Structure 1
């Protein structure tokens, strides 16, 4: 088989694998439907409006905000048998934004300069929580990357795959990892999770983390940083019997971090080389690594 054919086959496999993950996450969502009405327009149900108002861009109530910070921990906490309080958000089908194809996503402007048009397109008033959420997401996606950082916002499966390919290069095979709930859980609760196995370090020469953003359709903020990080796979058992195969990352050097970052408040620490910040990934966030990485 020629090298070009092998590369094409690899990309097809990666695309199919990631597509399955997204279908699992997003299929069945009736929160919003993309339809043509004088161009692309969003039809929304009551559930989707509640989701945007209450959750988009961190616009949570005080109780939810207090719970959401329970993803941070110290590296020394990663020990077999140790208990860590964690809040894994669980989103029902009606709370998940739809994933668009590249053709659909490219037909909709994605720029702060087009925000008035976008608000009209999605029928949001300019002073609404939804408008603030969209403005924050667009602004975040337009920030210039930091020193040694590669960043991009993906509005479709195809654009995410293409951008990840640019990071890893055509000669480096790569794969995607996620946090998986091994037992169905329908509600989000804060509870203690016990580490069931020795945490496994995943070594990769390059890594791209993709986080869900607040927007009417699925948008991922992805970034790759040339910094000292450790990626872990951790098997957890909750007090309610929920088993989670979780992905976690530790940022070993936080010298350049904002001292007001919520992680330092939670961990009672300050930025520095001796102050790592670790956190778990929610189930709908993705981590790309070289496929030669040991699990």
Structure 2
């Protein structure tokens, strides 16, 4: 599911939760991220001691033409990702942590297999309590995702989706990028972010927050010639995030001290209301 989608569908919000396991640390960097206001040279210097996938952060003051930022973009083609099932298909799959043995049996995976560990991690991510001010839901079908989005925006609101787009093809995942055009804010009072999860079939972890957030489209040029139209998400209030969140350790800041921003991988989605033409 990629590119632009303009639809007006229904939503029935459903309570969901979020937890984490070892197999999902990289996902966490893309779900609840924080920005440290440190020099980018310091970040680059420290990357040899860190997983490069942590390099998705930047500050609001970095958001200017000519700014150089080291960024990790996983090169996963959204068109090759598992597709969301139809609701009637998804409803036949036992999607809950307590049903994990039946789920493994359903897909013929052993309990110690990598697939089993990924499914256990995903189910845990979906079932832990949300943080204060957050509403979340794990969508296993296109209909359920659109239901959730409509519930966030209102029954009569139309909406569209924005995604990060690679304008050139390469295998480089981590390099320096330069902002070569004025970042464009997508004006929206509320937005819904949906992140791909590790599972046997397509599952999206979707959530939105009552606190202020901002979404931007940013044109980037890589040092190897790559060009990316990137989606960036800025969290203006992190005061309710856990102090133990890995991003705070990586970026060396405290919850609620600074607005924090991060880039979205190409197969993650941000839903926003469609501006009225009236």
RMSD across aligned positions (CA) = 2.8
Query: How far apart are residue 159 of structure 1 and its match?
Result: 1.4
How many residue pairs are counted as aligned between the two chains?
Answer: 242
Structure 1 residues 163, 177: CA separation in 2 closer, same or farther (over 3 Å shift)?
A: same
Q: Which residue of 2 aligns with 1:75?
A: 60
- 1:1-20 correspondence to structure 2 within 5 Å: 13-14=6-7
Greater mean deviation of Cα atoms: 71-80 or 283-292: 71-80
Structure 1 residues 94, 237: CA separation in 2 closer, same or farther (over 3 Å shift)?
A: closer
Structure 1 residues 246, 195: CA separation in 2 closer, same or farther (over 3 Å shift)?
A: same
Judging by fraction of residues, say which structure has more helix.
Answer: 1
Tell me how far apart the structure 2 counterparts of residues 94 and 286 of structure 1 sit (CA, whole Å): 13
Aligned: 1:137 with 2:104:
no
- 1:1-295 correspondence to structure 2 within 5 Å: 13-14=6-7, 57-58=24-25, 66-91=51-76, 96-185=81-170, 187-272=171-256, 274-292=257-275
Structure exhibiting the larger radius of gyration computed from Cα positions = 1
Contact map agreement 1:56 1:130 (CA 8 A) in 2: no
Structure 1 runs, 4 residues or longer, greater than 4 Å off: 92-95
What do the CA deviations read for 1:178-230 (whole angstroms, capped 9, x no partner)? Answer: 11111123x24210010011111222121100011111111000001000212
Contact map agreement 1:74 1:267 (CA 8 A) in 2: no
Contact map agreement 1:252 1:276 (CA 8 A) in 2: yes
What do the CA deviations read for 1:130-159 (whole angstroms, capped 9, x no partner)? Answer: 222211211221223333222111111121
Structure-2-length-normalised TM-score: 0.79
Structure-1-length-normalised TM-score: 0.74
Contact map agreement 1:72 1:266 (CA 8 A) in 2: no
Gaps of 5+ in 1: 1-11, 17-54
Contact map agreement 2:193 2:270 (CA 8 A) in 1: yes
Contact map agreement 2:84 2:202 (CA 8 A) in 1: yes
Gaps of 5+ in 2: 10-21, 28-47
Structure 1 residues 94, 120: CA separation in 2 closer, same or farther (over 3 Å shift)?
A: farther
